[in-house]
Amino acid sequence: MTTPSRIDGDEHTVPVVGGDLAVTTWGSGPGVPVLAVHGITANGYSFARTAAELAVRGGPPLLAPDLRGRGASGHLPGPHGLAAHTDDLIAVLDGFGVRRTVVVGHSMGAFVAAMLAVRRPDRVAGLLLVDGGFGLPVPPDTDIEAVIGPAMARLRMTFESPDAYRDFWREHPAFVGRWNDWVDDYVLRDLVGEPPRQRSACDETAVRVDGAQIVADQEALGAIHRLPCPAHLLWTARGLMDESPGLYTSERLAGLPESVRTTELPDDNHYSPLFSSTAALVAEQIHTLVEETVQVQGEL
């Protein structure tokens, strides 16, 4: 399978409560831009390869905000929480003149995307959820750090240089043997400050508030059961630390609504679908959702 060439993204800002939200756009193809929502300590560059795969197929442009408290939006203050993200995403759609579109969300971003669809069905035509969006039982008072491990620990760390930050991520089990330029761009998007005390752009308070909701908040956990639009869940066989099984298994997904289609990604871990050749499948599924929603619901 041919690896697509990286395409340059255009950087924008959209006014939201407390300041300006950073948004990267990729592609200039026809059609309504797709909205992409990243994970809990990630940034919009996690979708750069998906955008390149869409461009190869002549697909629609992609809008990828850095969520409040992450990446180039790391400076934004509260309110935090998934509801605040849905409000910010509406601001993004308004800012780019997008009336209604398909939304793709990864990890925590899948929960945000599902909540957005439930809260604003007039703005979401279809959902692609990548290894997230469906809550699983956890012990009471579970801390998000117990769930995401090193991704959370790094928020309190400092790094002497970009190379030191790369080394931290290269040793992460999910990326061992999987490093490429897409990962490198994504990792460096998260690095702020000056050597020798650089750090992650992620706001730890924002991550903790959001994390508490994806493990216990009833609105966030219940959204997938009330979806007003077509949805497809791609789930990975391996987890955040490349362990097996991953977050989901066929048995764990037994409680998923029948209306949500599922596809297992047997060669991927929680992080890898957006950076590996699997991004081609992600792009194909976005195409499929766009075509389905146009056929059933008319022009987006």
pTM, rounded to two decimals: 0.96
**175 in Cβ contact with 183 (< 8 Å):** yes
**17 in Cβ contact with 79 (< 8 Å):** yes
State the pLDDT at residue 108.
97
- The pair of structure tokens assigned to 92 is 């993004």
State the pLDDT at residue 297.
61
- Residues sharing a CB contact under 8 Å with residue 139, sequence separation 6 or more, in sequence order: none
| 15 three-class SS | strand
Helices (H), 79-172: 82-95, 108-119, 144-148, 150-153, 162-170
The DSSP result for 16-38, as a single string, is ETTEEEEEEEE---SSPPEEEE-
State the pLDDT at residue 131.
98
Amino acid at 142: T
The answer to whether the peptide bond before residue 196 is cis (omega within 30 degrees of 0) is yes
Element (DSSP H or E) covering residue 289: helix 279-297
List residues bridging with 13 in a β-sheet.
22
State the pLDDT at residue 53.
96
- The pair of structure tokens assigned to 121 is 């069905």
| 13 three-class SS | strand
Could you say which DSSP state residue 256 is in? S
Q: Rounded CA gap, 64 and 10, in Å? A: 10
CA distances to 38, 126, 141, 171, 263 from 50, rounded to whole Å, are: 12, 17, 35, 24, 17
**164 in Cβ contact with 157 (< 8 Å):** no
Domains delineated in the chain: 10-137+202-297 (3.40.50.1820)
- The pair of structure tokens assigned to 76 is 């934004």
State the pLDDT at residue 220.
96
C-alpha 213, offset from chain centre = 16
pLDDT, tens digit only, all 300 positions of the chain? 678 999 999 999 999 999 999 999 999 888 899 999 999 999 999 999 999 999 998 889 999 999 999 999 999 999 999 999 999 999 999 999 999 999 999 999 999 999 999 999 999 999 999 999 999 877 777 778 778 777 888 999 999 999 999 999 999 999 999 999 999 999 999 999 999 999 999 999 999 999 999 999 999 999 999 999 999 999 999 999 999 999 999 999 999 999 999 999 999 999 999 999 999 999 999 999 998 886 556 666
